[in-house]
Amino acid sequence: MTRTEQALPAGAPGVLSAARAQTATRVRTVTLVLVGLTVALSLATLVWGGHASDLWNQILAVFGAGNGEGAFTITKLRLPRVALSLGVGVAFGVSGALFQSVLRNPLASPDIIGISGGASLAAAFGLLVLGVSGIALSVFAFAGAVVVAAAIYLLAWRDGVSGYRFVLIGVGIAFAVNAGIGYLLTRAEVNDVRSALVWMVGSIGTPPWPDVGVLSVALLVLAPLVAVTVKRLRILQLGDELAGGLGVSAERARLAVLAVAVALAAVATAFAGPVAFVAFVSAPIARRLLPTAGLALVPSALVGTVVVLAAEFTAQYLLGSLEVPVGIITGVIGAPYLLWLLATSNRGGRGA
């Protein structure tokens, strides 16, 4: 029995233990349901349209059986799409959770405060002006997100960074970035604009396996950094003064968390474009599913994968011949949530 439980009235430790057990059960249940949805959507994407036998043949081929049919459809077209959707969903989901937690603002999301827009501007410049493509275009997008994030941080600095100032400056930067994108689009050739728009809206498409591999390696590299920064973030949530008393520099910890969140958003945007609202809605949905508020990074990552997979499945298979980029579907999902959030915040007297 801990000291806290010894200080409680008689019977209270049992109630506390029961509450903890109930919370743990709820977290496990939510996690398993989200994992199940992720697996179901992944399989549905692979077998939709009568390709279940192709998938079965591919599974048998791993064990030296099967007739090898469907190799092109499954392994060259659909499996890379599913793999990239999973990676992008995880990156955006965790990035949004980190942004919103460290800045303590539900609007703190890379697609709201201009970081994804910075990636789009850099990619549009590389594609429309310099004519780059492939992995070089992804490098441009990554660099654009990092530069814009650094600019927001420096402009928001006033003896420290507050979430309110960071978000406001980010929204202003987002408008400036959109203006730059509009200028580039008006000066480019029509055919180039068409391909640029598909990328800038956010699209999974049919990625090559090397792109999926690079994204996977990037996430594996960033995973330990997320684990390290989360420990500091938990202390930071106690307040800057208390964090300082515990030996954690508040501004350094905040900068470290923001750097990891920006890196996650930049990596995802580099390979799929600025898929709208995934980072924005993942953490709030995850927290509403859980009994207690917290970082909820794993549920946020799973919600991100479910949102991206569901949007990609809808865009590819449920709209008939009208195939649209996945970013349009996520925009349709996220825009009403943003309006609802603003409406309820104003009604409650919390305009920020």
Question: Residue 260 in contact with residue 231, Cβ under 8 Å?
Answer: no
Cα(290)–Cα(296) distance, integer angstroms: 8
Q: Is 237 helix (H, G, I), strand (E, B) or coil?
A: coil
The CATH number of the domain holding residue 188 is: 1.10.3470.10
pLDDT at residue number 235: 80
Distance of alpha carbon 160 from alpha carbon 252, whole angstroms: 10
Q: What is the pLDDT of residue 65?
A: 52
Question: What is the tally of structural domains in the chain?
Answer: 1
3-state DSSP assignment of residue 203 = coil
Decide if 26 is inside a domain: no
- pTM assigned to the model: 0.86
Q: What CA–CA distance (Å, rounded) separates 57 from 76?
A: 15
Tens digit of each residue's pLDDT (9 = 90 or more) over 152-207: 999 988 877 777 888 899 999 999 999 999 898 888 887 778 777 877 888 888 88
CA distances from 258 to 113, 146, 217, 226 (A): 13, 11, 20, 10
36 in a structural domain: no
> 18 in a domain, yes or no?
no
Establish if 98 belongs to a structural domain.
Answer: yes
Is 17 a member of any domain?
A: no
Residue 179 included in any domain: yes
pLDDT tens-digit readout, 296-330: 889 999 999 999 999 999 888 887 667 788 888 88
List the one residue out of 228, 196, 270 whose CA is nearest residue 98.
228
Q: What is the pLDDT of residues 248-300, one digit of tens each?
A: 777 888 888 999 999 999 999 988 888 988 999 998 888 888 876 667 889 99
Residue 202 domain-assigned (yes or no): yes
**Domain encompassing residue 211:** 51-347
Tell me if 103 is assigned to some domain. Answer: yes
pLDDT at 70: 59
Q: How far is CA 88 from the centre of its chain?
A: 6
